[in-house]
């Protein structure tokens, strides 16, 4: 190694602003905050059930109502679909290619299968929750 | 990090990513319904409590929350690096500690619902 290796100057905190692909990468990375937020929100919801009486649960439900939370959840849902769910399905054939003898199963089949499974999984959750 | 440990963390991240991609939109839609005042029947106290009391309900909730916690922890560790925080050991300890606490609380709360 040379004694004075060239180190390309690069900001540690704003490097992703230089390139559109990196910006999209960072937008995708931000969904991990949403995963954390909704996970702890759900854990808190379970905590209100540990009283084993309707009062704590009902006050949790009413604390979650209102236009602010509605707008927040609406935007979060849209953001999550655009930057977590759909990209995850899109990369599935690259992460898990299916080999059939000499050939590979076309990636589009795997992507479509993911969308079908997603609709079914969502339908099961909505059915369990009594929405449909 | 030892290779053996890395593979465990990686598989939890991958499993959690797939799981959250599939079911978080529905979870968020349920919170949206609650926020707009249209609380679904299945989320009324009686029905949801019955679900959380059943072993199948407890198992489903635990798997979802466990994988989501470890998925988020691993990704937030990478996010910290991306934002220029270079103390990876400290960040890793913090995020995995929070995920461990979340896992323990989830198990404890689920067992307390009866």
ipTM associated with this complex: 0.95
Q: Which residues of A touch B71 (CB under 8 A)?
A: 32, 35
Residue A7 confidence class, pLDDT cut points 50, 70, 90? confident
pLDDT of B2 higher than 60: no
- The kind and range of the H/E element at A100 are strand A99-100
- Here the tokens at position A6 are 């060239």
Residue B55 and residue B60: Cα distance in Å, rounded?
8
Query: Is the CB of B24 less than 8 angstroms away from the CB of A80?
Result: yes
Facing residue for A47 by CB, picked from B26, B64, B109: B109
Encode pLDDT of A75-127 as tens digits: 999 999 999 999 999 999 998 889 999 999 999 999 999 999 999 999 999 99
Q: B17 to chain A: which residues are within 8 Å by CB?
A: 84, 88
Residue among B63, B82, B35 nearest A70 (CA)? B35
Neighbours of B93 (CB within 10 A): 12
Contacts of B31 in chain A (CB under 8 A): 38, 41, 64, 69, 73
Angle, helix B55-82 to helix A20-29, in steps of 10 degrees: 140
Contact predicate A130/A124, CB 8 Å: no
Contact (CB<8Å) B26/A69 = no
| Residues A38, A33: Cα–Cα separation, whole Å | 9
Residue B74 to residue B98: CA distance in whole angstroms: 11
Q: What percent of chain B has pLDDT over 70?
A: 96
Count of Cβ atoms closer than 10 Å to residue A67 Cβ: 9
Candidates A46, A52, A81: best to mutate against B (most CBs of B within 10 A) is A46
Confidence band, pLDDT 50/70/90 cuts, at residue A49: very high
Inter-chain touch A65–B113, beta carbons under 8 Å: no
Q: Tell me the C-alpha to C-alpha distance, in Å, between residue A11 and each of A7, A16, A24, B77, B84.
A: 12, 9, 18, 19, 8
Distance from CA of B90 to the nearest CA of A (A): 18
pTM: predicted TM-score of the whole model, two decimal places:
0.93
Handedness of CA B88, B89, B90, B96 (dihedral sign): positive
Asked if B25 and A69 come within 8 Å (Cβ–Cβ), the reply is no
Cα B30 from Cα A88, distance rounded (Å): 21
Query: Mapping DSSP to helix (H, G, I), strand (E, B) and coil, where does residue A105 land?
Result: coil
Structure tokens at A132: 């449909």
């Amino acid at each position: 190694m040379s004694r004075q290796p060239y180190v390309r100057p690069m900001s540690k905190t704003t490097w992703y602003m230089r390139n559109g692909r990196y910006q999209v990468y960072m937008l995708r990375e931000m969904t991990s905050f949403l995963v954390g937020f909704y996970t702890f929100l759900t854990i808190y919801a379970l905590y209100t059930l540990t009283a084993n009486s309707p009062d704590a649960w009902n006050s949790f439900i009413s604390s979650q109502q209102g236009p602010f939370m509605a707008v927040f959840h609406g935007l979060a849902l849209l953001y999550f679909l655009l930057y977590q769910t759909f990209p995850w399905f899109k990369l599935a054939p690259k992460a898990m290619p299916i080999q059939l003898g000499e050939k590979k199963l076309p990636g589009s089949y795997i992507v479509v299968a993911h969308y079908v499974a997603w609709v079914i999984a969502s339908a099961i959750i909505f059915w369990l929750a009594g929405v449909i | 990090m030892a290779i053996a440990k890395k593979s465990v963390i990686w598989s939890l991240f991958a499993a959690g990513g797939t799981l959250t991609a599939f079911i978080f939109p529905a979870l968020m839609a349920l919170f949206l319904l609650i926020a707009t005042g249209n609380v679904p029947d299945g989320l009324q106290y009686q029905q949801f409590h019955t679900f959380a009391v059943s072993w199948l309900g407890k198992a489903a909730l635990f798997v979802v929350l466990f994988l989501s916690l470890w998925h988020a922890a691993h990704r937030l560790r990478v996010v910290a690096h991306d934002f220029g925080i270079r103390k990876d050991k400290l960040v890793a300890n913090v995020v995995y500690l929070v995920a461990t606490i979340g896992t323990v609380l989830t198990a404890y709360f689920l067992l307390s619902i009866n």
